[in-house]
Structure 1
Amino acid sequence: MSTGSRPHLSLLRIIEMNVGFFGLQFSFGLQQANMGPIYAYLGASEAMIPLLWLAGPMTGLLVQPLIGAMSDRTLSPLGRRTPYFLVGAVLCSAALFAMPRSSALWMAASLLWLLDAGNNVTMEPYRAYVADRLPPHQRSAGFLTQSAFTGLAHTASYLAPSLFTGIIDRHLLGPSGIPDIVRLAFLIGAVLSLSTILYSVLRVPELPLSAGERAAIAARPLTARNTLAEIRAAIAEMPGPMRQLALAMLCQWYAMMVYWQYIAFALSRSLYGSVDTASENFRDAVLTGQQLGAIYNAVAFVCALTLIPVVRRLGARKVHVACLAAAGAAMIAVPFTASFPVLALLMVGIGLGWAGMMGNTYVMLADSIPPARNGIYMGIFNMFIVIPMLLENLTMPLIYTPLLGGDARNALILAGMLMLLGAAATRLVSVGGPPNRNSGAN
């Protein structure tokens, strides 16, 4: 739809349209906080864990560009984006329900493929829905609200197992060694995944397409050939500023993948002096890592909201440089810290980085792409996330022992160094300056 046809939305409506993002990100948070330990409980070695995370980047690489292009050309009574929200939410709910009941490593790995497929079917149409629904001057608020919900959802999902220790003995284990507190957290995630999406699409439905827009879509119907042709054309015509974001995205997402996979193993060594994944000390380290994750995600939630006026004044680029630098310094310091209060303080830096990654990069992207191609470019931009993740999954098993000494603490130091490199690379991006320099602001 044309820019002029997008009504100004109140902050309450912007929040309501992003409630579904809470359920989607609760699912991601459960995955980030628990899949490494779940794989360890089922017998996986530390070095091989990245390979078992291949589902996320592979489904993102294959699914999101296709779904983004398809949603741009979908005509349905529910709208362009909503059918994808609903299908993805159902897949996520089914996978979340079954995951902690896995009886073998292959079962957990297979369910992760289903979970990530559902998440990826939903993700980019949801981001395109926000860009569709909001006029350009409200996009920063829309995407940073998404970032806030990401922080809030991840805080809740990371903290859930620790909270459940108040009502369930944390030492109670399922048949495969997966704690009951984790099983309950995944059940709640299954409920939230579907219910929050339904709330958002009912409260803030998509805007109807104009007759001209419907005619343009109908003139080039949704087919596999047209979809692939559209993706090829969009990649060939990718705006320069979007290409400039690639290096920064490579560094920051490789780093975060390393952090999620190895934080529990690093804390098990630095705080509890254990490398035995079947021990009580390791389970305590997992809970500690989740509590720290809840802290950095709570910081991200608060920062995503407080960064809105800062981004409006200084621009997303400068703010993002500072966010990544803070995260990098914190990650490097974590392996050398044996005090929980100091670790909690370091989570402020990681929270700043995470808030920036989930908000600032999309503000810069939205400034550089044509509105008619929001869906496909949001999908292609996801390749800037999943390709670094894929590289991490494939390269970490190769370098974990020979270069990092088989020590998860060294993996976190590597992650911090990459975050600092990502901050330097962000300075090279030509969009994301103060709003009066951005042609999209009005």
Structure 2
Amino acid sequence: MNRSPTQHRPDLSFWQIWNMSFGFLGIQFGFALQGGFMSRIFQTLGADKDALPLLWIAAPLTGLLVQPVIGYFSDRTWHPLLGRRRPYFLIGAIFASIALVFMPYSPTLWMAAGLLWVLDASINVSMEPFRALVADKLPERQRSYGFVLQTLIIGIGTWVASSLPWIVNQLGVANEAGPGVVPPSVKVAFSIGAFVFLASILVTVLTTREDPPEDPEAFAREKQSSRNFVAEIARDIAGMPRQMLNIGIVQFFSWLSFFSMWSMATPALTEHVFKAPAPDPAAFDMTVAAQAEAFRVANGAFQNAADLVGSYMGYYGLSSMAVALLLALYAARRPLNRRLVHGVSLVLGGLGFLSMAVVPSPVALIGSFALVGVAWASILSMPYALLSSCVDPKRMGVYMGIFNMFIVIPQIVAATLLGPTLRLFFDNQPIYALIISGASLIVGAVCLVRVSEPQAQATATSPAH
């Protein structure tokens, strides 16, 4: 395998790496709003809590199809103005922003689920090429630093976006509405997220230059071969490096954990910790004043608790930001033992999830989510840094897309099996979804014994100035 192109890439400055990663701020705004508040929207529109994981299934199914295809074609794209990866950033951002604006105005469950499909497909179109861009632009010695810096930006996005409905409510926008209507604070938060998504992607598109193909004729011949892309992707999946498969198994348990959190944290924590479950409008006779008032009080308690759940979830973004900053400072000067960092981080995140079942008060969730954030920081950086050292640079896009299948497959598994598991074995108590999350992260850490730390990692250097 010829790696010479990566070995001769110049070091980039901090601001060059920052600008090329800045679009992840918007992508994470989309993910954090989706992960923190889609279940709230579904419940507001009348979904039963055990049906929530299945309502999410469109998102990972979309990723399973979209990510390898986008990765494959981004490897073979060259636009004279936008380059190789940036056309996909921009197209995905436009459609994701549209979906974010309209999502909280959904009048029915099926429309909300459909818009979730559009939103997740669009985020995937933008996100997958970002991972490949870091590998495209950075030499091996800067890749850990580059992926960690991406994680720092993702942490900022998670922290701010998760708190947006609460912040908007504190500024005077109501967080309550009638039966089946999403509160105005959530609508405003999603509109802000749409603006940030598109604006941050534009920063990367306008400030980052991509290098043209070294051999235009060979590139053109390879592009012509894309007519049989399904067979080529299938061949790449079958021939993936062993290291990639081993990291993928760890990713499976990591993302099973986080999907369980995103889909079930709102019902689990509003019910178990805040004692304010979502009220069922069918259980109240709205023509009777006392019943209508009882619904209003119960719904108000749920919406307030859901705001706080979202706000506390923001602490895993804040924690991941702090961890990423520490890792970035370390990786800028010396090599990281990426496998060791990842294993310790997953165990700490698992303990954070398990602690949510026994927290003595809502405010104790800050500590639980802070531990979860340690795992999140590592999940978003260490596997990609390990992976980028073992694949052909010319096929980085398609391999990053295939690797992301290990993210979406566990989400499909959780979407189909989590609801029935809670009903059959845990008396339909959603807090057990978070206990499953904790156990899954710890299993993922154990699976790291099959992953090797690359011996030939080049000495890390600070970014050029």
Structure 2 matches for 1:383-422, cutoff 5 A?
383-422=405-444
The corresponding residue for 1:164 is: 168
1:31 to 29, 34, 38: 34
Residue 364 (str. 1) matches residue 368 (str. 2): no
Would the aligned equivalents of 1:320 and 1:360 in 2 still touch at CA under 8 Å?
yes
Partner of 1:106: 110
Q: 1:252 aligns with which of 251, 254, 268?
A: 254
Unaligned runs of 5+ in 2: 281-298, 461-465
Deviation at 1:441, TM superposition (A): 5.7
Q: CA deviation at 1:314?
A: 4.2
Corresponding residue of 2:372: 350
Aligned mate of 1:93, from 84, 90, 97: 97
Alignment of 1:319-330 (within 5 A): 319-330=341-352
Q: In the alignment, residue 265 of structure 1 is paired with which amino acid?
A: P
Q: 1:86-126 deviations in whole A, cap 9, x for unaligned?
A: 11111101101110111111110111111111111111111
Query: Given the alignment, which residue of 309, 316, 323 partners 1:289?
Result: 309
In structure 1, how many angstroms separate the alpha carbons of the residues matched to 2:72 and 2:341? 30
For the 8 Å contact 2:90–2:205, the answer to whether it is kept is no
Q: Which residue identity does 1:319 align to in structure 2?
A: V
Q: Distance in 2 between matches of 1:307 and 1:341?
A: 27
Could you say which residue in structure 2 is the equivalent of 1:149? 153
Asked if 1:429 corresponds to 2:432, the answer is: no
Deviation at 1:223, TM superposition (A): 6.0
CA gap 1:285/1:223 in 2 versus in 1, 3 angstroms:
farther
In terms of mean alpha carbon deviation, does 338-347 or 186-195 score higher? 338-347
**So what's the TM-score if we normalise by structure 2?**
0.90
1:198 aligns with 2:218: no
Q: TM-score, normalization: structure 1?
A: 0.94
The more displaced of 94-103 and 307-316 is: 307-316
- Which letter maps to 1:35? M
Q: Distance in 2 between matches of 1:224 and 1:187?
A: 38
Cα contact 2:176–2:303 (8 A) shared by 1? no
Task: Tell whether 2:17 aligns with 1:11.
Answer: no
8 A contact 1:64–1:124 mirrored in 2: yes
- Render the CA deviation track for 1:305-351: whole Å, top value 9, x for unaligned: 21235564441100000100001011011021131332211222101
SS in 2 for 1:80: coil
Out of 444, 447, 456, which is 1:438 matched to?
Answer: 456
TM-fit CA distance, 1:169:
4.0
Distance 1:144 1:201, change over 3 A: same
| Inter-CA distance 17–174: structure 2 relative to 1 (3 Å threshold) | farther
Question: What SS does structure 1 have at the residue aligned with 2:194?
Answer: helix
* Cα shift readout 1:11-46 (whole Å, capped 9, x = no counterpart): 111111111111111101100010011000001111
Match of 1:69 in 2: 72
Deviation at 1:183, TM superposition (A): 0.5
Kept in 1, the 8 Å contact 2:53–2:264? The answer is no
Q: Residue type of the partner of 1:389?
A: Q
Report the identity percentage. Answer: 37
**Which stretch shows the higher mean deviation, 23-32 or 244-253?**
244-253
Question: How far has the Cα of 1:397 moved from its partner?
Answer: 2.2
Conserved? CA contact 2:70–2:128, under 8 Å = yes
Bigger CA radius of gyration: 2
TM-superposed deviation, 1:2: 1.6
Q: State the alpha-carbon separation in 1 of the partners of residues 10 and 228 from structure 2.
A: 31
Alignment map for 1:214-363 (pairs within 5 Å): 214-222=216-224, 225-277=227-279, 279-310=299-330, 312-363=334-385
Question: Deviations 1:56-85 (Å, cap 9, x if unpaired)?
Answer: 211110011001001111122121111111
Give the residue type in structure 1 aligned to 2:278: D
What is the root-mean-square deviation in Å for CA atoms of aligned residues? 1.8
1:431·1:438 contact (CA, 8 Å) conserved in 2? Answer: no
| 1:60 and 1:117 in contact (8 A); partners too | yes
**What is the letter of the counterpart of residue 301 of structure 2?**
N
Whole-angstrom distance in 2 between the partners of 1:21 and 1:330: 25
Q: How far apart in 1 are the matches of 2:447 and 2:328? A: 22
Q: Distance in 2 between matches of 1:174 and 1:9?
A: 53
- 8 Å CA contact 2:27–2:123 kept in 1: the answer is yes
Question: How many residues align structurally?
Answer: 436
Given the superposition, is the C-alpha separation of residues 152 and 270 from structure 1 closer, same or farther in structure 2, using an over 3 Å criterion? same
1:277 Cα deviation after fit: 3.8
Following superposition, the deviation at residue 396 of structure 1 comes to 1.1
The Cα offsets for residues 394-439 of structure 1, whole Å up to 9 and x where unpaired, read as 111221201121001111111111111111112320135xxxx235
| More displaced stretch, 243-252 vs 37-46 | 243-252
Q: Secondary structure of 2:240's partner?
A: coil
1:325–1:239 distance in 2 versus 1, CA, 3 Å? same
Residue aligning to 2:283:
none
Q: Note the alpha carbon deviations across 1:211-265, whole angstroms, 9 max, x for none.
A: x1x2222113256533223212212221111011122111111111111111121
Map of 1:185 onto structure 2: 189
Q: Provide the residue aligned with 2:53 in structure 1.
A: 50
Aligned counterparts of 1:313 and 1:126: Cα–Cα separation in 2: 23
